[in-house]
Amino acid sequence: MAGIEFEIMEHIGTISEGKSGWKKELNLVSWNGNDPKFDIRDWSPDYSKMGKGLTLSAEDLTALKNVLDKMEL
């Protein structure tokens, strides 16, 4: 993704890993020098490439957690 700067501030957890070594992770990421947000996306093994993802504020993540807590799996 050209022109987008990012810094992974904290690795929170790995959700899954593909055969190619790419991992779907939940991280705290600062995009373009902005305040960090929670981020779910696929990352290459060396973090030089990324897939499309979902960026959430703390409030969004709390709301998502509440929805997931209500689910029966």
What confidence tens digit (pLDDT) does each residue in 4-62 have?
899 999 999 999 999 999 999 999 999 999 999 999 999 999 999 999 999 999 999 99
Q: Which domain holds residue 24?
A: 1-47
The tally of CA atoms less than 13 A away on the side-chain side of residue 28 is 6
Q: What is the CATH number of the domain that holds 11?
A: 2.30.31.70
**Does the residue 64 lie in any domain?**
no
Domain count, the chain: 1
What is the maximum span of the chain, computed from C-alpha positions, in angstroms?
A: 41
d(CA 20, CA 27): 20
pTM: 0.89
